[in-house]
Amino acid sequence: MLLLDGKKLADELKNEIAQEVEQLKAKGAKTPHLAAILVGNDGGSLTYVGHKVKSCEQVGFKSTLLHFEDNITEEFLLGEVKKLNEDNDIDGFIVQLPLPKHINPDKVIMSIDPKKDVDGFHPVNVGKVTLGLPAYVSATPLGITKILERYNIETSGKHCVVIGRSNIVGRPMSILMSGQSKTGNATVTVCHSKTKNLKEITLQGDIIIAALGKPEFLTGDMVKEGAVVIDVGTTRVADTTTKSGWRLKGDVKFSEVSPKCHAITPVPGGVGPMTVVSLLLNTLKAAKNEV
């Protein structure tokens, strides 16, 4: 069983990015600059944004964090997005989700300049990805393709089963896996809450991407021998034995599934670190005007 170590790969990619940033600076180019807007104090969001800021420092990027209380108005937030759109020193930025209930996330995402949308959520970037055009691919799907590529996982002609149809992971992942690319050309089945005979379908999967947010949903009896399993789940589960009082669980029951796999990502240390590094890759693209 091959462990697809996202943390190790993320560190390798960060080193590569840092070297490229040094080369850009040596040529007199500007330092890539990533900004993030965080509204409120959601624990997961605080941790995630903290990782982004630290990662920027590690690769030599400039980073800006705008942290607002959760009682700000939608109008105020849209004003802050407009400022970042117009700031020539900012190459890319993200608005951390989820947002407070009184703020419409679609309206906020639509207000982001597609050229600075390094999260890849704007309809312009989603559309370009669908058409196979140069675009910012949303961070988690991009991270998964990098894992498949760097670990030489063959995808062409394989049956890929994607569990989950969110606009953040499931849908873009299905498009990327079926597209004409090095980590594409797969036959893709998308499963979701209304899918019948789910186990029957997952047992056919050469590659399974579990992205539904239900801890340990995918069990050993749902996976065939030799499958490649990508676990996107990161649910906080109460655990009194840890210092934090919780631990992360994936969508895959690792103890049952891993013995049957050719390759599998762990949680934590799999897809998560690659999501952060993918934002850096997109920001580097933005700084070089490659999209």
One-letter amino acid of 278: S
What amino acid occupies position 223? V
List CB contacts of 210: < 8 A, sequence separation 6 or more: 163, 164, 217, 218, 229, 230, 231, 232, 233, 250, 251, 252
- Are residues 148 and 265 both part of a single domain? yes
- Identify the CATH number of the domain in which residue 154 sits: 3.40.50.720
**In-domain check, residue 243:** yes
Query: Does 239 reside within a domain?
Result: yes
Which pLDDT score, from 0 to 100, does residue 76 have? Answer: 98
pLDDT exceeds 90 at position 141: yes
Q: What angle do CA 96, 102, 105 make, to 5 degrees?
A: 40
pTM of this structure: 0.94
Q: Which domain holds residue 190?
A: 139-272
Provide mean pLDDT across the span 219-242.
Answer: 93
User: For the chain, what is the domain count?
Assistant: 2
Note the pLDDT of residue 238: 84
For residue 228, the model assigns a pLDDT of 98
Residues known to be catalytic: 52, 96, 119
Domain assignment of residue 47, yes or no? yes
Q: Does one domain contain both 147 and 265?
A: yes
Q: What share of the chain has pLDDT > 90, as a percent?
A: 89
